Structure 1
């Protein structure tokens, strides 16, 4: 059961489309590399050797402009949570709990009948690996709440009339700003796109911080390198995605192929949390994924 949840959780990290051969496997890091660069704003390919940065994998404050000399498809995110509101205060507390790996607090947010994740039924809380600091659900939560960009959702509330918040709202922004073109109907459009959220995010020639920087991206859409991802998946079909400490293969608008640190790589079908105040208690009522 847990393996099924992991595949849904890793739509960016591990996705497959029946008959289409689309897949992405994010292999695990082998070593920790020195700090690569500056602070980010929240917001060989077949067998890569991963050296995961201990700090955000972003470029110097004034990166070489030649590294971003190509057309850009910017994605603008807005946070619709009123400052100081009840949900704003709850979100701050949730972010603190995620950083502190506060298992008791996260358990208190889960519905008593189980959390629905993606297309699956109620999830057994023990399958979330909350007792492990780098457990897969902690990785999902950390990435899900990193952007601090939420908006009201039209998802049916548990209690009629209650507002439901979705975090992050990357998927909603993607569909509003870049509607599905007629030339790419269905899931193919979603699976072909990666949203790189952060300022001056490095694009590496290989999946490690020792390789050359071949591009710089800031809050924009790029093409998901499906061919490389499929090859990686075929080489290691049993590998599970690590949502944070891994690399995502992409293709830049100038046809240069590279990798971005997966902490900043979001796919339109990635996990998004739905939050509602139920009987005076905030709950994570559902995780949308793979839709």
Structure 2
């Protein structure tokens, strides 16, 4: 299956990367969906279905062999079970809605990978996806303490920064280490990991399907 080959190549790139970010790197938002009008329309329709929590419409585009992770719990039945899709508070709606809203890019085989943090994460250099994180906003404050009124050290705009391995932050704040060595905190809502949830879409039998929705590696 093509999606497995793409994931394997992606994971290899992550393992070959070095862990420490010693210089500023920018990862600007990218959305290549409009390059293929039929996919652009498909995604727009899927976004509407997700916003409406239309279970039938979403399941209609989920591949029967969808990859849900890197174990054996794959396929549409495990997809339904893992996401508790029959429950009104299923985490699927927020997770997939966020993934679709963050753009993405086409792979060489024509499949689409969302969000852009995953599709365009640099695979060369010192950008280990487990040791670094992307800032997904413009002029995002870096604070000295994990508080809304903490002293502002500087701002970041769509940068990739190192995680502070000695401080895991909390539910609202991510602890980071800047290239100059300073440590600070960024609101979690303005960050995204390259190994957070991402989706893959392929054209199968003439129609687009979601062939993977997973996190980690």
TM bucket by the smaller chain? 0.7 to 0.9
Q: Which residue number corresponds to residue 53 of structure 2?
A: 101
Matches within 5 A, 1:61-100: 72-82=24-34, 85-100=37-52
SS at match of 2:33: coil
Shift of 1:289: 3.2
Using a 3 Å threshold, how does the CA distance of structure 1 residues 132 and 224 change in structure 2: closer, same or farther?
farther
- TM-score, normalised to structure 2, is 0.73
Unaligned runs of 5+ in 1: 1-70, 156-162, 233-244
Q: Which residue number corresponds to residue 223 of structure 1?
A: 162
**Higher relative contact order structure (alpha carbons within 8 Å, sequence separation ≥ 6):** 1
> 2-side partners of 1:111 and 1:265: how far apart?
29
Task: Give the number of the structure whose residues are more often strand, by fraction.
Answer: 2
> 2-side partners of 1:83 and 1:165: how far apart?
11
Shift of 1:106: 1.9
Using a 3 Å threshold, how does the CA distance of structure 1 residues 287 and 213 change in structure 2: closer, same or farther?
same
Q: Which residue number corresponds to residue 144 of structure 1?
A: 99
Q: How many residues align?
A: 193
> 2-side partners of 1:264 and 1:143: how far apart?
12
- The answer as to 2:125 corresponding to 1:180 is yes
SS at match of 1:111: strand
- Cα pair 2:133 2:161 within 8 Å, conserved: yes
Which string of whole-angstrom CA distances, capped at 9 and with x for unpartnered residues, describes residues 193-250 of structure 1? 1111121223334444343433321111111112112x86xxxxxxxxxxxx743221
- Cα pair 1:276 1:282 within 8 Å, conserved: yes
- Cα pair 2:32 2:106 within 8 Å, conserved: yes
SS at match of 1:277: strand
Q: Which residue number corresponds to residue 166 of structure 1?
A: 113
- The answer as to 2:208 corresponding to 1:263 is no
RMSD: 3.0
Shift of 1:105: 2.1
1:247 to 173, 194, 198: 173
> 1-side partners of 2:49 and 2:152: how far apart?
34
